[in-house]
Structure 1
């Protein structure tokens, strides 16, 4: 199941030319269940803030919601993985919104292994297009037998995963790396609901932590290890994360 809509109309080969050839824009990704999304306000705020930064204009959240509803109806589903892409073609008076609808997905609770790579995303606070670098380090990690890449800044600081946020458990707090990164919606929802702190974390610090987890729009999963550093799965910790996750309300689109 894949449905693509541009400005409220099912995409055609002609209307797809612009997004195919245009790498300047941004997007958000969400999981929809029963026409509802956890943290919908965070997605709308992300889209508005990035549109203001990249194009100098606000983005109407009601328009975004209407386009998502229309795309879900056209796809004939209320459960889906949805992405909203924002472009602003030259000389157009309004933003172009492309909504894609695919099958729903939930991150499996299977522990994942991360490979550290020296890489930092451009303008990391933005969920922008042009993800060659991220895809490249993900490919390198996969070829080496890992599930995700862990991005390391030139000063040695751990920043984020290629497509995830990461947090480390010190026995009392979830430690979120204090470094430039994309604030994922799942992290933004979980961080205030867990005993959390932010501090600088480097590869040399990994042995000081008892466990770790990754998050993204698909959910969360425990980390089995980073490079040669292994972590056990803390069942009590993961249950507390699950409980915190389940307190987040589903917002009607």
Structure 2
């Protein structure tokens, strides 16, 4: 089911999103009981990004109402995506689009955590990385290239040689002393990343690709996958049963969800 401002969406309203591809979004995993971990952070992201992308204010209570409506009758767990865009946006005068609307879609959720992931390092930097925007061509192109090379996804390395993030996930490492290390780089400030940083000892530091490959363990994280171990970066393999990873998975699952 897909709704726009709480009503079934029409094809003509989706065309600008498909053809112009301007907007921003957040995805939230809805648990069996209907709660959402990090719900407040997701709403804060939408409000913040709406100001950046559209120079407009967004009412989070209105968004919550539309999400509640879209979830009625849906099986759980599921993932709900909220996309903020203006159907009147055009390529010639995007600045004229300042009345963004709320598109809500729902899909089924996979198990937590999913199978370990093999990542291929690739030089890539997202546009406006601090915003979770719909401009996914570059990230998905890198993902496709990694998959054609028999990897699961791409791990982005900037032109400065520093590791940043994954295709649609944040990455972190466990150093040889057992401390979680989050890369200091232009990355999307992920909600799951923020939750884990509140519940586990960590540090933020620059990480080169060589340093990443010398870590004791590595993992990907976002709302859909929780804490997903990386089993390899390029030709370097990592353990997927490291005790710190196990602790992080338990810590994440223990975080109470918020109700809509």
TM-score range, shorter chain: over 0.9
Matched, 1:26 2:24: yes
Q: TM-score, normalization: structure 1? A: 0.93
Q: 2:80 — aligned with what?
A: 82
TM superposition shift of 1:117: 0.3
Q: 1:69 — aligned with what?
A: 68
Matched, 1:202 2:201: no
Q: Equivalences for 1:119-134 in 2 at 5 Å?
A: 119-134=124-139
The size of the alignment, in residue pairs, is 250
Matched, 1:97 2:102: yes
Matched, 1:193 2:193: no
Q: 1:217 — aligned with what?
A: 223
In structure 2, distance between residues paired with 1:154 and 1:134: 15
> Is the contact made by 1:48 and 1:59 (CA closer than 8 Å) also made in structure 2?
yes
From 146, 159, 163, the equivalent of 1:158 is 163
TM superposition shift of 1:208: 2.9
Gaps spanning 5+ residues in structure 2: where?
90-95
Gap change, CA 1:173 and 1:244, over 3 Å in 2: same
In structure 2, distance between residues paired with 1:185 and 1:106: 19
1:90-131 CA distances to partner (integer Å, 9 max, x unpaired)? 567742110001112335442211100010000111110121
TM superposition shift of 1:198: 0.4
Matched position secondary structure for 2:186? coil
1:171-200 CA distances to partner (integer Å, 9 max, x unpaired)? 331000000101111111112211100000
Gap change, CA 1:92 and 1:120, over 3 Å in 2: closer
Q: TM-score, normalization: structure 2? A: 0.90
Matched position secondary structure for 2:139? helix
> Is the contact made by 1:4 and 1:10 (CA closer than 8 Å) also made in structure 2?
yes
Matched position secondary structure for 1:167? strand
In structure 2, distance between residues paired with 1:14 and 1:55: 21
In structure 2, distance between residues paired with 1:196 and 1:82: 29
In structure 1, distance between residues paired with 2:254 and 2:106: 26
> Is the contact made by 1:206 and 1:229 (CA closer than 8 Å) also made in structure 2?
no
Q: 2:92 — aligned with what?
A: none
TM superposition shift of 1:46: 0.4
